[in-house]
Amino acid sequence: MIDSPKPKRGRPPLSVRPVTRDRILDAALEAFSERGFDGATVRQIAAKVGVSDPALYAHFKSKKEIFEALLRLAGPDLLANAGVDSASKETPMQIALPDMFGKIIATWSTPRARAFASLVLRMGPDGLGNMLQDVSTRLRPVFESWQAQGELRGDISVEVAIWQVIGPLAGLRITYLHGDASSADIAHATKLAKAHLELIAQSLTKSGSQVK
């Protein structure tokens, strides 16, 4: 009870080491994206940072809190905003669409964003699902405006049109733009995205006429 004969615990001498919240979050993103929330351990994260595990608890209250900070911080922005925000009602669809695509692919190609994609993936269906729903919702007014201006053909629903754009992107993200992706993967994804865009842009404009 009162006898602790060898009190050799405590912080050992130290040279230099700045362990910040950010470095922890980086390490956690890496760990969680590699093994999922349950598969990653606090000790693994700490090891990536280069400290012992209790050190993390000076910055975060729990493993779960680290995870949530990660979601809150990097989540919506990294994944979706980038390209979506660049699409505005004023810009003609034929110009805005390629622009949006380019920006989205660029954003998703960064290591952080790719690691984050893996992480979200591992959260189960709700993770990616909600993300896509979110993008879809935010794109809707822009597409509606394009349709009103005659740039988007009127015989297909806005929702279908959005899905034409978003759907393959989601596939690309999962297939090529994840944490382990090589630069070849990334290049390939970019190529596919561009090719997809060209085709889809045509479909969304006049198609109907040709049926004639």
Partner DNA sequence: GATGAATGAGCGTTCATTCAT
Partner DNA sequence: AATGAATGAACGCTCATTCAT
Residues that bind a second copy (CB under 8 A): 1-4, 7, 33-39, 62, 64, 67, 117-118, 121-126, 128-129, 132-133, 156-157, 159-160, 163-164, 166-172, 174-176, 178-181, 192, 195-196, 199-200, 202-204, 206-208, 210-211
141 token code pair: 């007014």
- Long-range interactions of 66-71: CB distance < 8 A, separation 24+: 66/24, 66/25, 66/28, 67/28, 67/32, 67/37, 69/21, 69/25, 70/25, 70/28, 70/29, 70/32, 70/116, 70/119
| Cα–Cα distance, 37 to 29 (Å, whole number) | 10
Minimum CB–partner distance for residue 34 and DNA (Å): 13
Which of 61/88 has CB closer to a second copy?
A: 61
Residue 53, binding choice from DNA, a second copy, none, Cβ under 5 to 8 Å by partner class: DNA
- The CA distances from residue 109 to 21, 97, 104, 122, 139, in Å, are 24, 18, 9, 19, 21
Say whether residue 57 binds DNA (CB under 7 A): yes
Minimum CB–partner distance for residue 141 and a second copy (Å): 20
**Which residue in the set 1, 3, 4, 184 belongs to the binding site for DNA (CB under 7 A)?**
4
Residue 71, binding choice from DNA, a second copy, none, Cβ under 5 to 8 Å by partner class: none
Residue 77, binding choice from DNA, a second copy, none, Cβ under 5 to 8 Å by partner class: none
Say whether residue 123 binds DNA (CB under 7 A): no
Q: Position 208: which residue type?
A: G
> Contact positions toward DNA, by CB under 7 A?
4, 7-14, 17-19, 40-43, 46, 51-55, 57-59, 61-64
